[in-house]
Amino acid sequence: MPKQKFCRESLVIMTEMVLPNDTNPLNNLMGGRLLHMMDVAGAIAAQRHCNRVVVTASVDNVSFEHCIKIGSVVSIRAYVTRAFNSSMEVYVEVMGEEILGTGSKTVTNKAYLTFVAVDQIGKPIPVPDAIAETAEEKAHYEGALRRRQLRLVLAGRMKPEEATELKSIFFTEKA
């Protein structure tokens, strides 16, 4: 397994049309259906990065900023932003396109998902480091450790005082 891979190597673009079975009574894409699509796209990106089976470890806040109507096209872009020991943070961005009518495209959701690479018995295994190249990739990469530490603190797996990247949030300097 390579020791490093470029973020771009994990890029996934998944596109689907919103059909009646995907919608709620208001003819908008159901949130749960969208979360499923985001999880699938994120898992594929993580698997491309490590070439192993991955499991979803966490999903950061997902806000539903805009509705995606029946008949629209949903495009999901996902890629690994940073890799740690056995985990990978994946950035997922959702765009809704009114393909019939205006043709307008709107970013409706953004989220970070964390996946862990596992072996055949479900034990975490090491993954390659991620190399960021573009300005967008570098911005996601630079914030990934802070987001990881916040996830671990919120999950009770790290003490706030151990979160070196978050000290300014949790602790004030005493003069």
Domain boundaries, the chain: 4-133
Sign, Cα dihedral of 32, 84, 156, 175? negative
Q: Cα angle vertex 86, ends 80, 87, to 5°?
A: 40
Closest CA to 166 of 146, 152, 148: 146
Query: What is the pTM for the complete model shown?
Result: 0.91
Q: What is the CATH number of domain 4-133?
A: 3.10.129.10
Contacts of 30 (CB under 8 A, 6+ apart): 22, 23, 24
The torsion angles phi and psi of 5, rounded to 5 degrees, stand at: -140, 150
Contact 84, 149 (CB under 8 A): no
| Residue 160, pLDDT score | 83
Closest CA to 76 of 130, 103, 113, 129: 113
Query: Left (φ > 0), alpha (ψ -120 to 50) or beta: where does 122 sit?
Result: left
Three-state DSSP state, 89:
strand
Residue-level pLDDT, tens digit, the chain, 175 residues:
679 999 999 999 999 999 999 999 999 999 999 999 999 999 999 999 999 999 999 999 898 889 999 999 999 999 999 999 999 999 999 999 999 889 999 999 999 999 999 999 999 999 999 999 999 999 999 999 999 998 988 888 888 888 888 876 666 665 4
